[in-house]
Amino acid sequence: MSQTKHIHILGICGTFMGGIAAIAKQAGYRVTGCDANVYPPMSTQLEAQGIELIEGFGVAQLDLKPDVFVIGNVVSRGNPLMEEILNRNLPYISGPQWLAQTILHDKWVLAVAGTHGKTTTSAMLAWILEYAKLHPCFLIGGVPENFGISARLTESPFFVIEADEYDTAFFDKRSKFVHYHPRTAILNNLEFDHADIFDNLAAIETQFHHLVRTVPGNGLIVCNGREVSLDRVLQRGCWTPVERFGNSDGWQIDASNRVTLCGEMQGTLNWELFGEHNRLNALAALSAARHAGVPIAQGLAALSEFRNVKRRMEVRGVVNGITVYDDFAHHPTAIDTTVAGLRHKVGKSRILAVLEPRSNTMKLGVMKDALPGSLKDADLVFCYAGNLGWDARGALAPLGSKAIVEDDLGALIGKIAAAAQSGDHILVMSNGGFGGIHEKLLKQLQH
């Protein structure tokens, strides 16, 4: 690839577009980009790689004269820079399509799809391949602790990608993953989510079937055998061998972490992670890695050295015997499995669950009736209701006096700190920055 090729990325500071920027830079492109909010950690990560960042979407950026504008899905009609690109008939392309045409076309793509666990499972899979000395390329929607970066390009034929069902761009309403053409596809689970772009579960199942249609006959689909929704997807038509996990037909793992395949013992998983969801993620990663040639025993050995992704039950600090965790959970199912996993780990110690309903789906209130049930294992629940379009107090009323809702973040932090006692575990769950709550809370707990 020529050093002179230049791409300019609109919406560069999202995890996915930032990953594309890093990969393009490693492929020898000149990379520039802009976003509405250029701030750490993504801004520092990009600048450290020699990528020039511009705040905002000013029309003056056209003077950069890139070969093509790569458009992130945060960009919509009415964006001043995008409007001028259209008016002048300048070349533009979505991030997933640019990646597919430029980088992925000659790779063995291992794509990890599903409502939950995509980032963690992608990180596990990339690490197993790395441990097996296959030195994979990857693009993951988080920072795996084993690598310290979210994206990299290598000479390896293997490319692990987190395959998101969210739409591609304002001009391409297909799911991102339709562009990737994987040879190995993990279908981890499938529930209703992204209520801002999908009307119902059937609409998401249709997109998952679009993905299934792109997997070749000499590929492999690794499918969660417990999900009726995924059964429906495959019943629409499947032209690829399927390996299931989580049921007796395929891969299974018991509470002692013993792994079996079609009833035959394969070995034991020795690791620090907890929770049934992580055990299933591990099975999916082991199956996909085996398709790429990694023996199961080697996969298990790799997972014994796996360190999770940042913001997945990440301990942010311990003050006066109180542990504060950061977790990305923002869908009731993910909240449920995260709280249950922590409960399994801490036994009878108190769990203070702190929630910011921030995802588009949660802000719309679509999942609000499922929230009380998902928080049942917590001793106290604190919810930040600032900027919500629905009644959080009403939604959490079934939890009675153990639920505390505040519209003001400072007041919420004050109440958490007042309630916390030595030995407690404070689990903060949000898919955003949550106003820097972790540092503020740790500071307040010190006083």
pLDDT digits (tens, 9 = 90+) for 290-333: 999 999 999 999 999 998 776 777 889 999 999 999 987 777 87
Average pLDDT over residues 41-49: 81
Pairing outcome for strands 172-175 and 184-187: unpaired
The more confident residue out of 366 and 86 is 86
Burial class (CB in 10 A: 0-12, 13-18, 19+), 322: buried
pLDDT in tens, 83-119: 999 999 999 999 999 999 999 999 999 999 998 888 9
CA distances from 230 to 190, 202, 208, 224, 378 (A): 6, 11, 8, 7, 30
pTM of the entire predicted model = 0.78
Share of residues in the chain with pLDDT > 90 (%)? 64
Average pLDDT over residues 279-288: 96
Residue 388's pLDDT band (cuts 50, 70, 90): confident
CATH of 314-446, one of 3.40.30.10, 3.30.230.70, 3.90.190.20, 3.30.465.10: 3.90.190.20
Residue 71's pLDDT band (cuts 50, 70, 90): very high
CA 55 remoteness from chain centre: 25
The CATH number assigned to the domain with range 6-94 reads: 3.40.50.720
pLDDT in tens, 325-335: 998 777 787 78
Q: How far apart are the first and last CA of the chain?
A: 57
Residue-level pLDDT at 111 = 97
Residue 139's pLDDT band (cuts 50, 70, 90): very high
363, pLDDT greater than 80: no
131, pLDDT greater than 90: yes
CB 20 within 8 A of CB 9: yes
Residue-level pLDDT at 1 = 43
Structure tokens at 340: 């249950």
What fold does the segment set 103-303 form as a domain?
UDP-N-acetylmuramoyl-L-alanine:D-glutamate ligase (3.40.1190)
- Three-state SS at 318: strand
202, pLDDT greater than 90: no
CA distance 188 to 184: 13
CA 116 remoteness from chain centre: 8
User: CB atoms < 10 A from the CB of 76, how many?
Assistant: 11
CA distance 96 to 175: 9
Out of 361-365, 367-371, 423-427, give the one with best mean pLDDT: 423-427
Residue 242's pLDDT band (cuts 50, 70, 90): very high
Enumerate the domain spans of the chain. 6-94, 103-303, 314-446
Pairing outcome for strands 258-261 and 251-253: antiparallel
Residue closest to 291 by CA, chosen among 261, 268, 270, 259: 261
CB 7 within 8 A of CB 29: yes
Residue-level pLDDT at 353 = 94
